[in-house]
Amino acid sequence: MIAYVTRRILFAGVLLLVVSLFTFLLFALLPTDPAALTCGKACTPERIEANRVRLGYDKPVTTQYWLFLKGVFAGRTYGEGQGEFTCPAPSLGYSFSEKDCVTTLIGRTLPVTASIAAGGFALWMIVGIGLGMVSALKRGRWPDRAISIFSVIGLSFPTFFLALLLLFIFVIWTQILPFPSYVAPQDDFIGWCKALILPWCTIAIISAPSYIRLTRFGMLETMNEDYVRLGIAKGLKRSVVLRKYVLRSALIPIVTVAGLDFGITLGGAVFTESVFSLPGMGKLSIRAVIDSDLPVLVATTLVAAVFIIVFNLLVDLFYGFVDPRVRVRT
Amino acid sequence: MSSEVILEAIDVIKHFPTGARGLLQRTTGTVKAVDGVSLQIYTGQTLGIVGESGCGKSTLARVLMRLLEPSAGSVKLQGEDITHIHGQHLRKVRSQMQMVFQDPIASLNPRHSVGEIISTPLKFLEGHHAGSDKARVQELMNLVGLNPEHYNRYPHEFSGGQRQRIGIARAIAVNPKIIVADEPVSALDVSIQAQILNLLEKLQADFGLSYVFIAHDLSVVRHIADQVAVMYLGKIVEIGSPEDVYGITAHPYTKALMSAVPVANPRIAANRHRIVLTGDVPSPVNPPSGCRFRTRCPKAQELCAQDEPLLLDRGHGHPVACHFPD
Amino acid sequence: MSDEVRKGEVVLEVEDLSVGFPTPDGLVQAVNGVSFSVSSGQTLGIVGESGSGKSVTASTIMGLTNQKSANVLGSIKVGGIDILRADEPTVRGLRGQEMAMVFQDPMSALNPYYTVGNQIGEAYAVHHPGCTKKERREIALGMLNKVGIPNPIQRIDEYPHQFSGGMRQRIVIAIALVNNPRLLIADEPTTALDVTVQAQILELMKSLQQEFGSAIILITHDLGVVAEAVDDVMVMYAGRSMEKASVTTLFDNPSHPYTRGLMGAVRSLDHSSRGSLHTIPGSPPSLISLPSGCSFRPRCDLAASLGDTCSLKVPSMRRVEPIGSLSACHLDDQQLVNLTKKNFAS
């Protein structure tokens, strides 16, 4: 088991390195000149050249990548003399448009995205699995039909449209909720909830339907398994069979999908953040795309990749933990 | 056996690495699925391969058809070595050998009509004219006992036995010389099994086909085969005509296998002595030393652990791989 | 010889059982007016091809057929209690305690997430509330021993996937017998196993029956298994019972044309049987639109000799003298007896 975990972690590390290399190369090979974007209209060729040297864009791509990697672990100092400044480790570069170290920007936006993702995730899992169970247990009867109609509606709404609709109903029309404005949960927990309830609902309504279907399908599938029939044949109560026999195996595959989905959402809920004007990573990425802010783009892409890889790893380890068949094979 | 050899396996070995393959993962061993098998298939005759699950009979069939490349040894089709051929050449060779599968439902594409299923292999024939497909397919359907008017129906509209007939029609569509049938009747009801076996025999007589017939059911093989090979853990333990193998059984494993088959006669069943083997088949990753059957053999002695018995005629008129045959 | 060998008290009495499943295409009449009974120590074989209704009969007896989604008629009395009319807690009390089941595929019959010891212990604990963990473990250990699992002390904490198919089927049997039920229903218990393992399992069931004295219903499509392992046989076709007899009577004098067809299709190991096998023409009918009258009529080569009778009336079970078997066929006794004298291809 320990060997298995070590191997998986090592593998995740290698994967991260590969992803970082690809991301870096991808953006480095773009036809845009990163140095030209470091100053606005008041640019002169001399200033551009100076900035190019300061940020290391004059060096070959491989050296740039090496400096980038070194920066992640050791921090990075740009320029020398008067213009010298340092982005401490882990440094992901410097954004000229924001005039700040990229790590600082990520540090500022990540809590917002994490808050949105965590709450949305919790809500969609509860709604998705809960309704999925009801749907499976009442198969073919009216609760099942009602839930499937809800699923279809949820699946067919574009995120931005749903977000706008919720915003209109609860903020502009009925004015039940204030316009979302992010506060840290440790400062004002109620305010945090109030600001994020609509984004959470948006994400939940969009994501829950696939979980309803997965749960319903998984449960119906498992209920036909011989071992579930054997459980009933033993004389166990239906509730016990449901808990010990059906739910466990029906939910395990869902965890795989959920882990990955959560990782993806953590990388930035682009539409949700934009509509509700929440300063998260998604919004940061959008801004970076519009401004061609390469260091930020590389960084947000990388951070998103890290989340996906990490959650993928966690899911795999979880499998090894709950499924004896995986446990022994390793 | 007066007729000529059409397909031949010489010391064929097929090993599969075990353990998940991938980055940073090691293989932990090899499954010795087929471990040194030689046999001949004669024109117009049937070789039956029997054995329990995991004995390597299906792997052997796939090697014979060159769906798998053997790890060692060679396969010859009409004297031509086809062990390592690839690409165009392999495709051409393969069209002379067709397969009939166990599960007629899983082996047919549910979204294709019967006509499409049977005509698909025709498209790869040399000098193929699309215009003549329908006539040919209906001729084939007639041959296997299907109503040619059902040309446009889908597999789910047919019963299990009829689906197996579709599978057989597809297999004979390209006029193959050899048909490898992997448990073709074991998913069917007894009364339907008989229909399919009769059909296979009729086709063999009409077209001079050679069959490799794989089954775990000894009575099916007895009925259809001209030559029976009994496999255990990747090796042939006894081979010969059905009269020899079933009548003058020499290998203790074959004996046990035969005595385990229930007899559909309660008076015989009540009185006969049955050899009940103990334990399970050992893992093909780590087969026993010497004779592979020795761990379950009632006659095993020290010699069996040291020396592997060769497949030789030991005075029974047919080859047996046992140090102490009956 | 009488066709029903009574060895003890009646454990199960099924009367006029019908099970139908409504589907979008129509009602699938899986079981159609089937009656039989089993006594302690007796093994009843139910034999039939796929779609004959034998497995549905078994799962309905165990209460595994959802009565909300199926039309179930008739009565099933286990120890005098009609389980089709009893309330859920009563039936639950019978399951696993008075009656138990062994499934066809041992690969899927065990819960992959729990150790085998846990699963055997659980089956015991359901009907012994308040038993201790230690007790459960000891019982499980004892059962593993009884069903012939080597090294039970070590293997009790292993998971199902660590066992071979034959060993798993032994564990399923251990689960079934842990409460010493009076009725054991085995639904194709050896079909998924190799012949040598099948022999082991049949042997095991026989010896456990002698020890526990249970009544066994053995459901199978294999006439060889029937000949080896049962006392009495019921032959089913398209949801109906066609013939009932003791095993020797059935094999000596198969009276029903379907039974005869079935036996003719069986191949033997002893004789070389080259040449055409005897077959039953056609295939079983759709359970949604059964043929009128006798369900076997369209495949029966004797139906024509009786004119319209076979298509007008469903034949009822009656005793065929002097053979002593029960047969559902319109042919009269003399005709059926004459049939049994004709030799069929073997």
pLDDT per position as a tens digit, A36-84 = 777 766 677 887 888 788 777 888 888 888 888 888 888 888 876 666 7
Domain boundary among C237, C270, C292: C237
pLDDT value of residue A155 = 84
pLDDT value of residue A120 = 92
Which of C203, C248, C269 comes nearest B222 by C-beta? C269
Which of C94, C96, C113 comes nearest A324 by C-beta? C113
Q: Which amino acid is at B71?
A: S
pLDDT value of residue B24 = 47
Do A92 and A148 share a domain, yes or no?
no
Do A156 and A85 share a domain, yes or no?
no
Cβ-contact B35, B199 below 8 angstroms: no
Which of A234, A244, A323 comes nearest C96 by C-beta? A234
pLDDT value of residue C4 = 42
Domain count, chain A: 2
CATH of the domain at A257: 1.10.3720.10
Q: What is the dihedral of CA C163, C167, C173, C178, to 10 degrees?
A: -70
Do A165 and A285 share a domain, yes or no?
yes
Q: Is A14–B23 a contact, with Cβ atoms under 8 angstroms apart?
A: yes
Do A122 and A68 share a domain, yes or no?
no
> pLDDT tens digits for B212-258?
999 988 888 998 999 999 999 999 999 999 999 998 999 999 999 88
Burial of C45 (0-12, 13-18, 19+ CB in 10 A): buried
Q: Is C93–A235 a contact, with Cβ atoms under 8 angstroms apart?
A: yes
**Would you give the distance in Å from CA C108 to the centre of its chain?**
19
Which of C95, C101, C112 comes nearest A324 by C-beta? C112
Do C220 and C288 share a domain, yes or no?
no
Interhelix angle B133-143/B160-172, nearest 10 degrees: 130
Do C230 and C287 share a domain, yes or no?
no
Q: Is A11–B20 a contact, with Cβ atoms under 8 angstroms apart?
A: no
> pLDDT tens digits for B144-155?
999 888 888 888
Spatial separation of the C-alpha atoms in residues A80 and B225, rounded to whole Å: 89
> pLDDT tens digits for A175-188?
888 888 888 888 88
* Residue C4 falls inside a structural domain: no
Residues 188-227 of A with CB under 8 A from C: 225-227
Work out the average pLDDT over A192-198.
89
Spatial separation of the C-alpha atoms in residues C213 and C11, rounded to whole Å: 11
Domain boundary among A69, A102, A135: A102
Domain boundary among A83, A102, A121: A102
Residues 309-328 of A with CB under 8 A from C: 322-325, 328
C199's CB contacts (< 8 A; 6+ apart) are B259, B260, B262, B274, B276, B277
Structural domain of C275: 259-341
Higher pLDDT, B8 or A319: B8
Do C143 and C36 share a domain, yes or no?
yes
Residues of chain A with Cβ-Cβ distance to C104 below 8 Å are: 226
* Residue C90 falls inside a structural domain: yes
Of the residues A227, A232, A234, A251, the best mutation for testing chain C's interface (the one with the most C CB atoms within 10 Å of its CB) is A234
B30's CB contacts (< 8 A; 6+ apart) are B15, B16, B17, B18, B285
**What residue in A sits closest to B27 (Cα-Cα)?**
A330
* Residue C250 falls inside a structural domain: no
Spatial separation of the C-alpha atoms in residues A214 and B169, rounded to whole Å: 39
* β-bridge pairing B312-313 and B319-320: antiparallel
Neighbours of chain B (3+ CB pairs under 8 A): A, C
Do C265 and C197 share a domain, yes or no?
no
Closest CA of chain C from A328, distance in Å: 9
Residues of chain A with Cβ-Cβ distance to B23 below 8 Å are: 11, 14
Question: Tokens 């010389």 — which residue?
Answer: B177
Do A7 and A154 share a domain, yes or no?
no
Closest CA of chain C from A177, distance in Å: 46
Q: Say whether residue B24 is in contact with chain A using an 8 A CB cutoff.
A: yes
Separation in Å, CA A244 to CA A236, A238, A241, C137, C326: 10, 10, 5, 19, 45
Q: Is B24–A329 a contact, with Cβ atoms under 8 angstroms apart?
A: no
* Residue C254 falls inside a structural domain: no
Report the length, in residues, of chain C.
346
**What residue in C sits closest to B205 (Cα-Cα)?**
C275
Domain count, chain C: 2
Closest CA to C101 of A223, A236, A229, A244: A229
Quickly count: other Cβ atoms within 10 Å of residue A44's Cβ: 9
Do C269 and C232 share a domain, yes or no?
no
Residues of chain B with Cβ-Cβ distance to C166 below 8 Å are: 280
Q: Say whether residue A119 is in contact with chain C using an 8 A CB cutoff.
A: no
Q: Provide the strand spans (E) within chain C.
A: 10-23, 26-39, 43-47, 71-78, 81-82, 99-102, 183-187, 215-220, 232-237, 240-246, 318-320, 325-327
Do A38 and A110 share a domain, yes or no?
no
Closest CA of chain B from A12, distance in Å: 11
Do A67 and A215 share a domain, yes or no?
no
For residue C326, what are its two tokens?
A: 């029960």
Q: Number of Cβ pairs closer than 8 Å across A and B?
A: 8
Do C124 and C38 share a domain, yes or no?
yes
Closest CA of chain A from C248, distance in Å: 32
Residues of chain C with Cβ-Cβ distance to A233 below 8 Å are: 62, 64, 95-96, 100-101
Residues of chain A with Cβ-Cβ distance to C122 below 8 Å are: 234, 236
Cβ-contact C90, C122 below 8 angstroms: no
Closest CA of chain B from C265, distance in Å: 5
Do C159 and C110 share a domain, yes or no?
yes
pLDDT value of residue A71 = 86
Q: Number of Cβ pairs closer than 8 Å across B and C?
A: 128
Domain boundary among A77, A102, A127: A102
Residues 50-79 of C with CB under 8 A from B: 50
Q: Say whether residue B25 is in contact with chain A using an 8 A CB cutoff.
A: yes
Do C127 and C157 share a domain, yes or no?
yes
Do A121 and A264 share a domain, yes or no?
yes
**What residue in A sits closest to B19 (Cα-Cα)?**
A329
Closest CA of chain B from A176, distance in Å: 53
* Residue C157 falls inside a structural domain: yes
Which of C165, C196, C203 comes nearest B257 by C-beta? C196
Structural domain of A120: 106-329
Do C85 and C228 share a domain, yes or no?
yes
Which of B189, B194, B277 comes nearest C196 by C-beta? B277
The fraction of chain A above a pLDDT of 90, given in percent, is 21
Closest CA of chain A from B295, distance in Å: 26
Residues of chain C with Cβ-Cβ distance to A237 below 8 Å are: 92
Spatial separation of the C-alpha atoms in residues C218 and C102, rounded to whole Å: 9
Residues 140-159 of C with CB under 8 A from B: 150
Per-residue tens of pLDDT for chain C, all 346 residues: 343 444 578 999 999 999 999 988 889 999 999 999 999 999 999 999 888 999 999 999 998 888 788 899 999 999 889 999 999 899 999 999 999 999 988 888 999 989 999 999 999 999 998 899 999 999 999 999 989 898 899 999 999 988 988 899 999 999 999 999 999 999 999 888 888 888 888 988 998 898 888 999 999 998 989 998 999 999 999 999 999 999 999 998 888 999 988 888 877 776 655 567 777 888 888 888 889 999 999 998 888 888 888 888 899 998 988 888 899 999 888 888 877 766 543 3
Do A236 and A301 share a domain, yes or no?
yes
Cβ-contact B246, B233 below 8 angstroms: no
B202's CB contacts (< 8 A; 6+ apart) are none
CATH of the domain at C18: 3.40.50.300
Residues of chain B with Cβ-Cβ distance to A10 below 8 Å are: 24
pLDDT value of residue B53 = 84
Domain boundary among C237, C271, C306: C237
Do A151 and A222 share a domain, yes or no?
yes
Do C230 and C268 share a domain, yes or no?
no
Do C212 and C270 share a domain, yes or no?
no
Do C54 and C103 share a domain, yes or no?
yes
* Residue C278 falls inside a structural domain: yes
Q: Say whether residue A10 is in contact with chain B using an 8 A CB cutoff.
A: yes
pLDDT value of residue B102 = 82
pLDDT value of residue A329 = 47
* β-bridge pairing B46-50 and B227-232: parallel
For residue A37, what are its two tokens?
A: 């974007």
Q: Is B219–C50 a contact, with Cβ atoms under 8 angstroms apart?
A: no
Do A68 and A124 share a domain, yes or no?
no
Mean pLDDT of chain A: 85
Do A283 and A233 share a domain, yes or no?
yes
* Residue C245 falls inside a structural domain: no
